[in-house]
Structure 1
Amino acid sequence: MHTDFDRCVRAVHSKDARFDGWFFTAVLTTRVYCRPSCPVVPPKERNMTFYPSAAAAQQAGFRACKRCRPDAAPGSPQWNERADLVARAMRLIADGTVDREGVGGLAGRLGYSTRQIERRLLAELGAGPLALARAQRAQTARVLIETSDLPMADVAFAAGFSALRTFNETVREVFALTPTDLRARAARGRGPATPGTLALRLPFRAPLCPENLFGMLAATAVPGVEEWRDGAYHRTLRLPHGQGTVALAPRPGHIDCRLALTDLRDLAGAISRCRGLLDLDADPEAVDERLRADPALAPLVDAAPGRRVPRTVDGEEFAIRAVLGQQVSTAAARTLAARLVAAHGEPVTPPEGGPGAGLTHLFPSTEALAALDPAALAMPAGRRATLVRTVQELARGELALGVGSDRSRARARLAALPGIGPWTAEIIAMRALGDPDAFPATDLGVRRAAARTGLPATPAALTRHAAAWRPWRAYAVQYLWSADDHATTRMPA
C-alpha cells in the first residue's frame, strides 16, 4: 500500500487508525516517522514519504515519533492472512528466529537460500532480515526499559544486543532518547508492578469483540496449563530459552498483558505468540465488510463486529488437543488433556502474585509424548492410534505447525494421517496454522447455525455458498458459532 501515495496521504489526513501497521509516514523535514493515525498536525504533502515497515524507515535514517510510537503499532495483517515466503519469514522474525539462529537459520526453516530471503524481503519491505530483526530488538529493548527496573546491561542482553554500546547507539538512533531518558519518561506514568512481572499493553485495530475470543479460551482451558481468573485468561508458555506465564485481559483500546519469564530473551517471542493467540493483527474492517455482504451473516456481524479467531501459542500442543477432542464434548476433551498434563507435563513455578499463579504445568512436549509407551495413554484404541501417529509425525518434523510453517504442506500431511478427518484438519488449520480461510463445514455448530440463519445446512452446499466469504471463512465460523448460546461464545463473568 505504501506505493499508493494519494491513498496514504488521505489516510494520514483522516488520521485513520485502520492503516496503522500497513505503512509508515516519514517526514523529510523533521526526520521522524509516524503511524498514519499520529495526532500531530500532518506535514505538507511534499514533505511526506512512505515506507512499508518501521525497519525500512529506520534504515533510511528516520527516528520514531515520541507522540504516536509507531514502533509499537499493530503488525500488518498481511503476515497472518498471506501464506507466501515473505509472510512466513515475517512470522518467524517476529518469533525471534533471526536472533536465535541468524539469517541462515531463518533461510533453513523456509527452505530457501539466504540471498533469496534477503532479496524478497528487500523488494517488498525495504529492509532485509537483519534490519527487521534490529527494529524488533529496539522495540523489545523499549518494553524492558519502560516496564522493568533491570540494569541496562541486562536489558541489552535480553533484547538480543551483542554489546552494550550497540544497544545504546540503536536506542538513541531509533527513539532519539538515551535508554536512561526513556526509562525516566516512562516512570512518571507507571504504577507499582509485581516483582518479576512485565506489564504491557498489546494494541489492536478496532473493533474487537472479546466475547468469543476469551470465551473459547476459557471454556476449553486445560487445568494446570490454563485458567480464567479475576477477569483474565492465564496460561503457561513453553519458550525457546525457558518457561513463562502470562495473563491477558481485554481493556478499552488494548489488551492488558502481564508476563513472567524465566529468561528475558524470550520476551519478543512471547509477545508475538500472545498477539497470535488473540489474533490482534487482524483487519476487522476488511473482514466484516466482506462477510456483511451476505444477508444471512449481516445480522450476526452487526450484532458484535470485530470477532477474532482464537488461535494458540503452540501449534503442536493444539494439534494434540484437537485429536484428544475428536468426537467428544468440550468437558471430556478438557478431562483427557488434564490427565495427560498431570502425568507427563513439565512442572512450572509461577511468581507469587504474578500471572498464572494457580497454574502448575507446561503442556507435555512432543518429545516427551513420543517417548511414551502407547499403552500408558488411557483412551479408546482408535484415538490412541491417531494420537501416536500425530505425535510421531510432529517429533520427526514431518508435520510442521510452527509460525513459519508451509500451510499447504501441513494440510497435506494432516490429510494423509489415518484418523484425522476434515473437521480436525480444518480446526488445526484455523487455530494452529492461523489460516484465515480455514472452514470446518462439517462442524455441528456451524451446520446448526447455518440452518437457523437460512444458509445451506449440508457441508457440500455450505462450502459452495461460503466461497463468497473467502479469504475470511474462519471469521465467518466465529460469527456462525455466535448464533448458538454456548460457553465458548461468551466471555466468563
Structure 2
Amino acid sequence: MVDSVSANDLDFERCYRAVATRDARFDGHFVTAVRTTGIYCRPSCPAITPKRTNVTFLPTAAAAQQHGFRACRRCLPDAAPGSPLWNTRADLASRAMRLIGDGVIERGGVPALADALGYSQRQLTRVLTSELGAGPLALARAHRAHTARLLIQTTRLSMSDIAFAAGFASIRQFNDTVREVFAVSPTTLREESRRRNGDTLPAGNGLLTLRLPYREPLDQSWLEWFLASHTVPGLELWENGVYTRSLRTPHGHTTVRLSIQPGHVRASLNLQDMRDLAPTVARLRHFLDLDADPVGIDEALTAGMAGSPLHPHVSGDDPGITLPPGIRVPGCLDGPELLLRTMIGQQISVAAANTHTARLVQGLGEAIAGPIPHLFPTAEAIAERGSEVLTGPSRRVDAIVGAAKALAGGDLVLHSGRTAGDLRRDLLALDGVGPWTADYVTMRLLADPDVLLHSDLVVRRGAGLLGIDLADAERFSPWRSYLTMHLWKYALAHPAEGGPKTSAPTRRTPQ
C-alpha cells in the first residue's frame, strides 16, 4: 500500500525512499526539489537519484516555484496526476485547491475564492501558505504556468494568444513566469517539444488533443460501462470506445472526446475559448477520478473484505472473492446538471432516465454546432419551462422544477469547494430530495471517497452476494464510495439466479 504523504507533514525518509525507487504512485503527492541544480521533479523522474543532503520535499509545485526552483523539463512534474489528498481531505486547503484548479482565481481573483469558501482573504492565505507552502496567488500562478506549457507544446497559437488564454495579465508576466518555471523562453519550450515529438501541432483554432495521466491500475470496464450506459442522446455519444459530449464552460462551451488508453486518457477538446482549457481539464480529471490512489484504496478494501464468506459460485479451493483492481468513482462535469439528472432518474431505470433527460435536452437545451447538437439546459430554462417538457408524476416534475428555481435564484450553490455536511443539508432541504439523492450528489460533486449508499437496493444486493454487513462497514472507511462502486458492479455482473443478465438495475441506480 502507498503510504499517504500528508501535505503539511512530509516524512523525509518515506519521500526519499519513493524517489530512490522511482515510485510513480507518489507522483502528485509531493515534489522533489534539488538544491544543487535548482530543479524540482516528480518522484518517478528517471534522472540520477540526488544525494540526501541536496534534496528537500515540498507539497506542491507552487511551493517549489515559490522557493525559486524550476520545473524539470524531462519528467514534467506539473503534468503528473493531481494529489489524491484534495479528495481524501475535506479541510479548507483541499477545498481551495479544487476551486483553484477550476479557475476561480483567474475569473474573480482571490476575493472570489475566499467568498466561495466562506473565509476572509487573510485567513485563507495564512492557511494555504501553512499547509501547501504557497498562498492562493502562487498556487494560481503554478496552474497558469501549466496551462501555458500545454498550449505552447500542443498548439500553434501565438505567444500573445497563449498568454491571454492562460490567464496572464500581460505578455511580460507570461514570459517572465515561463522563464522562471521552466528556465527557458516560451519559444524555446515550443522548439524543444517540436524536436522531441515532431511537427504535428494542429492549427490554433481551439482543437487540442491531450494525454490525461492517471495512476494505474484502472478498472476500464467499469468506467466504460458507466459512460456507455448513461449516455443521453443529443448531449452525449458513446461509439467504439470513445465518449463524446458537449459541455458548458466559464467562457462558452466545448465538445470533448475521451478514450481510455494505457496510463492515460486521450482527450480531444474543441474549445470555443482557450481560457477554458485549465478548468475543462480539471473537470475531466474529476469526472473520471483520475487522481485517485488505486493501490492504497484496493489494499484497504481488500483488508476490509477479510473474513467475508465465499460467494456460492466460487469454488471451494478459492481463498475468497477478489475485487477487481483500480475501480473509480465517477465525478461530474457540472453540479446543477448532476443534481437535476439524478432527480430525473429517481426510482426509474437508467434507460428511462436517459429518455426523459434526452427529451429535456431536446426541448430546452441550447443548440450548438458540431457532432453533439445540444448543451444541457440551464437551471433558468428548466425553472421557467421545465414543467412544459418534463413528463411523469407531477410531484417529481414539481420537485425538479423547484430545484432548478433554487439553483437559478442562488439559493442553492453547487461547487466542489463546499463541505459535505453543508451540501448535504442544503440538498435535503429541497422538496423531493431524500438521503439517497443527497448522498449520491455529495459523493460525485465533491469526490467524497467515504459515502456508502447503504439504502440503495443494488448496493444491498451486492453486499448480500459478497457477504458484507452494511451495518458494519466502518472497516472500509475512508473508502466507502469505492466500496459502493464495487457492490454496484458485482450486483450487475451477478443478476438474480434464474433472471436475465442485465447491465442496468431498475431502481435506485447510479444516474
* Fold agreement, TM-score > 0.5: yes
Question: Unpaired runs of 5+ in structure 2?
Answer: 311-318, 494-501, 506-511
Q: Distance in 1 between matches of 2:328 and 2:503?
A: 16
Choose between structure 1 and 2 for higher RCO, CA contacts under 8 A separated by at least 6 residues. Answer: 1
Q: Distance in 1 between matches of 2:322 and 2:45?
A: 28
| Structure 1 stretches of at least 4 aligned residues deviating more than 6 Å after TM superposition | 297-301
- TM-score, normalization by structure 2: 0.90
* Matched residue, 1:334: 354
Taking every aligned residue pair, what percent have the same amino acid on both sides? 52
The Cα shift of 1:32 comes to 0.4
Q: Which amino acid is the alignment partner of residue 390 of structure 2?
A: L
The C-alpha deviation readout for 1:58-97, integer Å capped at 9, x for no partner, is 1111001111110111111111122221111111100000
* Matched residue, 1:428: 441
Q: 1:487 aligns with which of 480, 496, 503?
A: 503
Q: Which amino acid is the alignment partner of residue 175 of structure 1?
A: F
Q: CA RMSD of the aligned region, Å?
A: 1.8
Q: Distance in 2 between matches of 1:209 and 1:94?
A: 25
Structure 1 residues 35 and 340, CA, compared in 2 at 3 Å: closer, same or farther? same
Q: Which amino acid is the alignment partner of residue 232 of structure 1?
A: V
Question: Unpaired runs of 5+ in structure 1?
Answer: 351-357, 457-461
Structure 1 residues 99 and 187, CA, compared in 2 at 3 Å: closer, same or farther? same
Report the secondary structure of 1:237's partner residue: strand
* Matched residue, 1:162: 169
The C-alpha deviation readout for 1:176-207, integer Å capped at 9, x for no partner, is 12111111122231446476410111111111
Q: Which amino acid is the alignment partner of residue 362 of structure 2?
A: A
Q: 1:468 aligns with which of 475, 478, 481?
A: 475
Report the secondary structure of 2:431's partner residue: coil
Q: Distance in 2 between matches of 1:136 and 1:205?
A: 20
The Cα shift of 1:418 comes to 2.7
1:236-251 matches, within 5 Å, as 236-251=246-261
* Matched residue, 1:417: 430
Report the secondary structure of 1:205's partner residue: coil
Corresponding residue pairs, total? 476
The Cα shift of 1:253 comes to 1.0
* Matched residue, 1:9: 16
1:134-283 matches, within 5 Å, as 134-188=141-195, 189-190=197-198, 191=200, 193=202, 196-283=206-293
Q: Distance in 2 between matches of 1:222 and 1:333?
A: 9
Higher mean C-alpha deviation, range 479-488 or range 11-20: 479-488
Q: Which amino acid is the alignment partner of residue 236 of structure 1?
A: S
The Cα shift of 1:28 comes to 0.6
Q: Distance in 1 between matches of 2:489 and 2:419?
A: 30
Q: Distance in 2 between matches of 1:481 and 1:300?
A: 19
Is 1:312 the equivalent of 2:345? no
Is 1:67 the equivalent of 2:80? no
Report the secondary structure of 1:487's partner residue: coil
Report the secondary structure of 1:372's partner residue: helix
Q: Which amino acid is the alignment partner of residue 10 of structure 1?
A: R
The Cα shift of 1:3 comes to 2.7
Higher mean C-alpha deviation, range 473-482 or range 289-298: 289-298
The Cα shift of 1:103 comes to 0.4
CA contact (8 A) 1:438 1:473 kept: yes
* Matched residue, 2:313: none
Report the secondary structure of 2:48's partner residue: coil
Q: Distance in 2 between matches of 1:196 and 1:241?
A: 13
Report the secondary structure of 2:385's partner residue: coil
Is 1:37 the equivalent of 2:44? yes
The C-alpha deviation readout for 1:352-394, integer Å capped at 9, x for no partner, is xxxxxx2111100112212226354322112112112211222
Q: Distance in 2 between matches of 1:362 and 1:273?
A: 16
The Cα shift of 1:397 comes to 2.6
- TM-score, normalization by structure 1: 0.93
Q: Distance in 2 between matches of 1:289 and 1:297?
A: 18
Q: Distance in 2 between matches of 1:167 and 1:174?
A: 11
CA contact (8 A) 1:218 1:488 kept: no
Structure 1 residues 123 and 453, CA, compared in 2 at 3 Å: closer, same or farther? same
The C-alpha deviation readout for 1:293-336, integer Å capped at 9, x for no partner, is 12349999845201001121001101000000011111100000
Structure 1 residues 359 and 373, CA, compared in 2 at 3 Å: closer, same or farther? closer
